[in-house]
Homo-oligomer: A and B are copies of this chain.
């Protein structure tokens, strides 16, 4: 089962450069080992996307410590672990410094929900979490606290980048792609004139339809 996860994660990492979400080695995706409350699989630190292989993905505990002889995990591993520990429904996490989302994170303002695709995917605005330094659980706490007050599966961490969560890693990567798309489109719209958020009733209707009707069931 962990080998399947490694293969899935390796394939999903290829979506990051393909969708323009990362520069050099700067983003990562992880998956909770299904059912586990202590293990995750994540990208190794500082390895080029072209050089990733399923067997190089790192199995580690929620403190970011590898549980077998392995490459060093992403230096964000403990942040991912904190989120899995606090949010039992989360099975996958993506973290990127994608360009337009990071521009909003620098600006420090939520991306307002001004288009139907945002209502579909995020159920409202994409919120901004606190500025936090890497090294303890400050980033993880900031992500969890911000998610607690929004329907959004994406958080802009101030002056840093994006964290997205999903039932599995594919959902998290999709959310990262849609977050960057929203950030770019709303950036372009904002330079044309003032932004007017969609009314709450429309946002609710769109969100519920998309979460329940869209796709294959």
Of A2-10, A31-39, A105-113, A147-155, the one with at least 4 CB within 8 A of chain B = A105-113
Select A45's contact among B23, B131, B189, B216, beta carbons within 8 Å.
B216
User: Are B174 and A24 in touch, CB under 8 angstroms?
Assistant: yes
User: Are B185 and A102 in touch, CB under 8 angstroms?
Assistant: yes
User: Are A188 and B24 in touch, CB under 8 angstroms?
Assistant: no
Q: For the complex, is A161 an interface residue (Cβ under 8 Å from B)?
A: yes
Expressed in whole angstroms, the Cα–Cα distance for A45 and B216 within the complex equals 6
- Across the two chains, which residue of chain B brings its CB closest to A71? B216
**How many of these chains are in the complex?**
4
- Across the two chains, which residue of chain B brings its CB closest to A181? B23
Select A177's contact among B23, B209, B214, beta carbons within 8 Å.
B23
Chain B residues whose C-beta falls within 8 Å of the C-beta of A184 in the assembled complex: 99
Q: For the complex, is A144 an interface residue (Cβ under 8 Å from B)?
A: no
Which residues of chain A from 5 to 58 have any CB-CB distance to chain B below 8 Å in the complex?
19, 23-24, 26, 44-47
Q: For the complex, is A159 an interface residue (Cβ under 8 Å from B)?
A: yes
Select A23's contact among B97, B178, B187, B215, beta carbons within 8 Å.
B178
Which residues of chain A from 173 to 187 have any CB-CB distance to chain B below 8 Å in the complex?
174, 177-178, 180-181, 184-187
Q: For the complex, is A72 an interface residue (Cβ under 8 Å from B)?
A: yes
**Contact A216-B47, Cβ < 8 Å, known A24-B174, A116-B160:** yes
Chain B residues whose C-beta falls within 8 Å of the C-beta of A46 in the assembled complex: 214-216
Q: For the complex, is A1 an interface residue (Cβ under 8 Å from B)?
A: no
Task: Beyond A23-B178, A97-B185, A115-B160, list 18 extra A-B contacts (CB 8 Å).
Answer: A23-B180, A23-B181, A24-B177, A72-B217, A75-B209, A75-B214, A97-B115, A99-B181, A99-B184, A99-B185, A104-B192, A106-B192, A107-B193, A116-B161, A117-B160, A133-B202, A133-B205, A187-B192
Offer 12 A-B interface pairs, CB within 8 angstroms, sorted by A.
A44-B216, A45-B215, A72-B217, A99-B181, A106-B114, A106-B115, A114-B159, A116-B134, A116-B160, A116-B161, A135-B205, A187-B191
